[in-house]
Amino acid sequence: MWDRKHLLGIAELSAEEITEILDKAQHYTATALDESTTSDKLRGKRVALMFFENSTRTRVSFELAAQRLGASVTAMQMSASSVAKGESLRDTVLTVDAMGVDFMVVRHSSAGAPHQIAGWVSASVLNAGDGTHEHPTQALLDMLTIRRHKNDFDGLRVGIVGDIAHSRVARSDLIALKKLGADVVLIGPPTLVPGAFAQLGAEVAHNFDNAIHNCDVLYMLRIQCERLGGQQFPSMREYCEFYRLDGPRMRRAKPDVLVMHPGPMNRGIEIAADVADGPNAVVLEQVANGVAVRMALLDMMNNHR
């Protein structure tokens, strides 16, 4: 039974809690995109979207999810807030909290920022991505998408490919997949697939062509140029040659392999356009499932308000 005020990371959730969220989200998939089915479960509740980093999918789907449940939503422009005048993170969130907000959806470039905020405010805090640490709602919508196609996680082999080192999505997905019983192989050049990830129970592979054939899911990641410090691989051309998911590589994969990507995609870099738009890809389904997952979370967390 769900009994949490905040959602800060996948690491803190049990397999049973993850499954409970997926079951509730599965229920919402039928109505999440249908405006005529708006409920009043969160009527009178206020949701503040506080994105200190850019977002399209996460921000819009949280907004739609809250609206579907009847909440009022304030989507703050953080770059146009008093943060630009030097107001601290603590003073900013305490100010918003003082206005009686019930939920704060926070994305921040610093790992751990949502955890800190949860200790300061009376609102429920949902982590919408913190630095390179976690992106729990992305992992939950990914698990829902995989479950809808593959039914069971036991014995499932998921290849996560690309810039693992800088990816909060990779980290949250890896933790969720292991808790649910899947096998995970992290694939990429040694500089972007650090050995430390093996300690979380994943295999590590540097040769995509050798690792692709027995994967049931291929989860492609973009190179996070905004988080790269120094030169992490010789050239983008070489990266594409060895790690892009394109037509020839797809012919080495299982015919029913599920192709996923959290977005935003860099078409032609980590994934070829015809694969991104092809019959195995479920990228837009992931986006749609994001609304259902965020509705489920707001609904379940509302019991704490």
Nearer of residues 62 and 183 to ligand CP, judged by Cβ: 62
Helix/strand/coil for 250: helix
Q: Which residues pair with 159 in a beta bridge?
A: 185, 218
Nearer of residues 94 and 228 to ligand CP, judged by Cβ: 228
| Out of 70, 194, 263, 278, the residue judged to bind ligand CP by CB under 6 A | 263
Nearer of residues 222 and 244 to ligand CP, judged by Cβ: 222
What tokens does 93 get? Answer: 């969130």
Stretch that binds ligand CP, among 19-27, 50-58, 174-182, 291-299 (CB under 6 A): 50-58
| Out of 124, 127, 132, 138, the residue judged to bind ligand CP by CB under 6 A | 138
Stretch that binds ligand CP, among 29-37, 119-127, 219-227, 257-265 (CB under 6 A): 257-265
* Least distance in angstroms from the C-beta of 93 to ligand CP: 20
Query: What is the pattern of x (binds ligand CP, CB under 6 A) and - over residues 71-110?
Result: ----------------------------------------
Q: Does 262 bind ligand CP (CB under 6 A)?
A: yes
How far is it, in rounded angstroms, from Cα 61 to Cα 285? 13
Helix H or strand E segment including 205: strand 203-205
Half-sphere CA count of 168, side-chain side, radius 13 A: 24
Helix H or strand E segment including 136: helix 136-150
Nearer of residues 154 and 226 to ligand CP, judged by Cβ: 226
Q: Does 56 bind ligand CP (CB under 6 A)?
A: yes
Question: Residue 11 carries which DSSP code?
Answer: T
How far is it, in rounded angstroms, from Cα 23 to Cα 21? 5
* Least distance in angstroms from the C-beta of 113 to ligand CP: 16
The position carrying tokens 């195995």 is: 280
Which residue, among 158, 131, 128, 130, has the nearest Cα to 143 in the 3D structure? 158
Q: Does 131 bind ligand CP (CB under 6 A)?
A: no
Q: Which residues pair with 205 in a beta bridge?
A: 187
How far is it, in rounded angstroms, from Cα 92 to Cα 54? 18
| Out of 31, 55, 110, 302, the residue judged to bind ligand CP by CB under 6 A | 55
* Least distance in angstroms from the C-beta of 107 to ligand CP: 8
What tokens does 17 get? Answer: 């809690």
- What is the DSSP secondary-structure string of 66-91? HHHTT-EEEEE-GGGSGGGGT--HHH
The position carrying tokens 């609304």 is: 291
- What is the DSSP secondary-structure string of 8-35? --STT--HHHHHHHHHHHHHHHTTTT-G
Q: Does 58 bind ligand CP (CB under 6 A)?
A: yes
Nearer of residues 212 and 298 to ligand CP, judged by Cβ: 298
Stretch that binds ligand CP, among 11-19, 200-208, 259-267, 297-305 (CB under 6 A): 259-267
Phi and psi at 158, nearest 5°, equal -115, 125
Q: Does 57 bind ligand CP (CB under 6 A)?
A: yes
Q: Does 266 bind ligand CP (CB under 6 A)?
A: no
* Least distance in angstroms from the C-beta of 134 to ligand CP: 12
- Give the burial class of 154: count Cβ atoms within 10 A of its Cβ; 0-12 exposed, 13-18 middle, 19 or more buried: exposed
Stretch that binds ligand CP, among 74-82, 159-167, 210-218, 258-266 (CB under 6 A): 258-266
Binding site for ligand CP (CB under 6 A): 55-58, 129, 138, 262-264
